[in-house]
Amino acid sequence: MRVSNLFTKTSKTAPADEVAKNAQLLIRAGYVHKEMAGVYAYLPLGLRVLENIKKIVREEMDSLSSQELIMTGLQRKETWETTGRWDDEVVDIWFKSKLKDGTDVGFGWSHEEPIIEMLKHYVESYKDLPMSVYQFQTKLRNEVRAKSGIMRGREFVMKDMYSCSTDAQQHEQFYRAAIEAYKRVYDRLGIGSDTYVTFASGGAFTQFSHEFQTICDAGEDVIYLHRDKNIALNEEVLDDENLARLGVAREELEAVKTAEVGNIFNFGTQKSEDMDFAFTNEKGERQLVHLGSYGIGITRVMGVIAEKLSDDKGLVWPDNIAPYRVYLARIGTDESVVLAADKLYDSLQESGISVLYDDRNARPGEKFADADLLGIPHRVVVSARTQEQGVFEYKKRTETETMALDAEKLKSILTA
Ligand code: ATP
Ligand code: MG
């Protein structure tokens, strides 16, 4: 992509009402556009980041043999009434409306009930189980507070997955595999070492559910962490009984601020009972499906990475999430410089390396500031001076020193 063609521009300031660092940086860099509090549009660069995150999540969900689909944004009242969750007293973040004929509709804040309603048409026999489905979906929630930028939206992208099993044992097997897949996701996203599988309250069927909590100053949660034993609890389950059960003492725990980047639940058969979701077992009897639910906050993860990996100059994306791998800055307008920069742009792209090519006639300082703000991992400069020396100037976003490299060396670094 040539910067001269990119319609977004960087800006020195963020909207005055935007308090969160992640959104300030993402807006200034032109990754997102703030429509209103908690509601953000993803512009070309931001969309590429989201798609890179989704790609990693998709690969790991596919590795669980889960099947991708997409449910609807508009939902039926009757579906949610089966579990009592249409009620605003029970779910306080609903957006609702009516069709022209007066029929009530809800805007999907979750898809648990509609997914189960849909699956009832297909899951009939024990032979159909275990199975699982997932989607990337925009959720709409009338959140009271929306002050954490894209980390808490009124409109946000979630990956939600649902597992159907014959019984607790079959469920447990999938659940454990899902925990491992989630760990791989956060590792690949570059936040694995700061992300803790955290015990949270479990509901009717199990002692605990599990949250994936990432250490982050801008997070809204607090977890109680035993770093050595790698055990973390949230506030809801922090009591003497659970501490004893997990073999940790209260004094050994450290309270840390975190953001919940994912969570997984064992529903047992409660929801299946409410919604009459059953299969025929090997004896020919009807048996309730054992359900699990698995969420990842895709846009929140993007916000957490923006918060954690940024510095005073701007964003700092890891290679596999960055919208482009290389920021190619052309300094000067001499024909030979233009020619050399154009040639490098083409040849890097031919090697499968994505490049944001700053072909504008702007000052070097402006280009370097943009490269830093945008957080592109590798910067390459082509100028009259580098041309004379027969090299390219290379710098990593995370380093201050530049290096003079020949074409071959440059390519080998960029493809590493
Ligand atoms: P929270 O405790 O942060 O309100 P939740 O427990 O309601 O989240 P779920 O409904 O289970 O979360 O959603 C699954 C995941 O979606 C969460 O782990 C989080 O990463 C993300 N998420 C939830 N609410 C939001 C939001 N308003 N904006 C962005 N991401 C969100
Ligand atoms: Mg939560």
Residue 262 Cα: closest atom of ligand 1: 18
Domain map (residue ranges) of the chain: 8-308, 326-414
Measured in degrees and rounded to the nearest 5, phi and psi for residue 205 equal -95, -30
Q: Could you tell me the distance, in angstroms and rounded to a whole number, from the CA of residue 254 to the centre of ligand 1?
A: 24
Q: What is the pLDDT of residues 364-416, one digit of tens each?
A: 999 999 999 999 999 999 999 999 999 999 999 999 999 999 999 999 999 98
Mean pLDDT score, 264-272: 96
> Which band of pLDDT confidence, cut at 50, 70 and 90, is reported for residue 203?
confident
Nearest C-alpha to atom 22 of ligand 1 is from which residue? 297
From CA 148, how far away is CA 152, in angstroms rounded?
6
Do 316 and 398 contact (CB within 8 A), yes or no?
A: yes
Specify the pLDDT at position 378. Answer: 98
Mean pLDDT score, 80-88: 97
From CA 344, how far away is CA 350, in angstroms rounded?
10
Specify the pLDDT at position 205. Answer: 78
Nearest C-alpha to atom 26 of ligand 1 is from which residue? 152
Average pLDDT, the chain: 97
From CA 327, how far away is CA 345, in angstroms rounded?
10
Q: DSSP character for 141?
A: -
Q: Token pair for residue 359?
A: 């072909």
Q: Could you tell me the distance, in angstroms and rounded to a whole number, from the CA of residue 2 to the centre of ligand 2?
A: 41
pTM comes to: 0.97
Class for domain 8-308, per CATH?
alpha beta
Taking only Cα atoms into account, the Rg of the chain, rounded to an integer number of angstroms, comes to 25
Specify the pLDDT at position 204. Answer: 75
> Which band of pLDDT confidence, cut at 50, 70 and 90, is reported for residue 61?
very high
The pick from 260, 298, 299, 301 for probing ligand 1's pocket by mutation, whose C-beta has the most ligand atoms within 8 angstroms, reads: 260
Q: What is the pLDDT of residues 95-145, one digit of tens each?
A: 999 999 999 999 999 999 999 999 999 999 999 999 999 999 999 999 998
Q: Could you tell me the distance, in angstroms and rounded to a whole number, from the CA of residue 320 to the centre of ligand 2?
A: 27
Provide the CA 306 distance to its chain's centre, in angstroms: 11
What CATH architecture does domain 326-414 belong to? Answer: 3-Layer(aba) Sandwich (3.40)
Specify the pLDDT at position 416. Answer: 83
Specify the pLDDT at position 206. Answer: 85
Helix (H, G, I), strand (E, B) or coil at 387: helix
For ligand 1, which residues put their CB under 6 angstroms from it? 141, 143, 152-153, 156, 158, 260-263, 295, 297, 299-300
Mean pLDDT score, 6-25: 95
Q: What is the pLDDT of residues 230-257, one digit of tens each?
A: 999 999 999 999 999 999 999 999 999 9
